[in-house]
Structure 1
């Protein structure tokens, strides 16, 4: 049960919160960092090993997580000298990963059962399994269909429904072995290539709690939600004295 957490991004959309702290260490509810919640969840669901792909302010993440023993996990690190995208960091480290493994972004707040996703992927023949979520977008405008300069249809502030990737994936090592290491390679590149070869990824639909904490408004919502959902987001945790906030590690204090 091995998970790779992508924690090397700069978090530019979440500024000013990420000016001095990497996005995975931004605190939620003034109690736990995003990364700390994820590490606890992985241990709860039976994961034993975590690989952290780090880059921007990676030394802070190392100081905070250490060897992972305080989470009941064994943690190793992949360091990006230059940004390699979502999949790029994995390509040079496939030899250290098991046949099937979980990959996830380090800024996801959800109560998804990661083990169920990974077991489902391992039992399938899919090259990759994508956790998916239904989203709804309401247009602020009336939408027009136009043909040859005339309006053929009108919809007043329509609602669009679609499925999105949650940033959590079940992977098989052999899926990635065909791609060269050391160059930027994103999840979009991978999916487009798989589809072009008619090798279709699988969907793992989820309808529970999920937030991609990429923007200040998402972060504000996560903080507003946390006290209400803490039991769900921290399963099995005895909730007592809050742990030190991530900024306690800015000067290199040991984890």
Structure 2
């Protein structure tokens, strides 16, 4: 099994933590970086190979990770010289990948079973499988519905429920064959293209632990919770 880890972003929303460190290398707890945890999990789930798509401060990631032997994996690299979106870096290395593979953001903390997700993707013959999570958003205002200048409905501080993408995907090589390597391609564009073609993505419904380390508040929460969730994230480590 092969995973492509997207680790080339500048982590602008996480500044100042990412001023001198790429986001995947910011520390979680006293011993690990985010990327440490991700690679350990992939190894535990049977992934033997990974490609790191690097860009911003990529030499630091390459120096830190090396050939992947520390995690019992074989790791290579794809350099992103200019921003290519979520899926664009995958197009550049498509010929080196197996027919089905995992793609994931390098800043995700979760106890998702990556192996089970990829197996479901392969067995379902879907062009793309998206790991999804139920997220609640509290609206701190009274919400009005209006029509023809009149208020027709009112809800005080509602809680909205959404299914969101976790930043982890099962992908098939055939799905990306029509796209030109070297051109930007976002996850949103790919999903919209698949919907328009009548070939919708599949869902991997997940209800465990998930935190996207995108903002300082998320990062602070991850560190505050890490002692409690370490056993869940790093079984046996």
Same fold (TM over 0.5): yes
Contact 1:44 1:236 (8 Å CA) reproduced: no
Deviations 1:171-204 (A, max 9, x none): 1100011111111110001000100111100000
Counterparts of 2:153 and 2:123, CA distance in 1: 46
Mapping for residues 1-255 of structure 1, pairs under 5 Å: 1-237=1-237
3-state SS of paired residue (1:41): helix
Counterparts of 1:86 and 1:162, CA distance in 2: 21
Counterparts of 1:208 and 1:46, CA distance in 2: 20
Counterparts of 2:46 and 2:17, CA distance in 1: 32
By how many angstroms is 1:93 displaced?
1.0
3-state SS of paired residue (1:123): helix
Q: Which runs of 5+ in 2 are unaligned?
A: none
Q: Which runs of 5+ in 1 are unaligned?
A: 238-255
56-65 vs 178-187, which moves further:
178-187
TM-score, with length taken from structure 1: 0.92
By how many angstroms is 1:125 displaced?
1.6
By how many angstroms is 1:30 displaced?
2.3
Deviations 1:14-47 (A, max 9, x none): 0000010000000001210000000000000000
Counterparts of 1:231 and 1:160, CA distance in 2: 31
Aligned-residue Cα RMSD (Å) equals 0.5
Contact 1:4 1:102 (8 Å CA) reproduced: yes
Q: Which has the higher contact order (CA 8 A, sep 6+)?
A: 1
Counterparts of 1:3 and 1:157, CA distance in 2: 41
228-237 vs 53-62, which moves further:
228-237
Structure 1 segments, 4+ long, off by >3 Å, are none
Deviations 1:49-76 (A, max 9, x none): 0000000000000000000011100000
Specify the alignment match of 1:249 in structure 2.
Answer: none
Deviations 1:102-160 (A, max 9, x none): 00000000000000000110111210100000000110000000001110010000110
Counterparts of 2:233 and 2:125, CA distance in 1: 30
Counterparts of 1:176 and 1:13, CA distance in 2: 29
Counterparts of 2:25 and 2:143, CA distance in 1: 41
Contact 1:6 1:53 (8 Å CA) reproduced: yes
TM-score, with length taken from structure 2: 0.99
Contact 1:145 1:153 (8 Å CA) reproduced: yes
Specify the alignment match of 1:246 in structure 2.
Answer: none
Counterparts of 2:46 and 2:69, CA distance in 1: 14
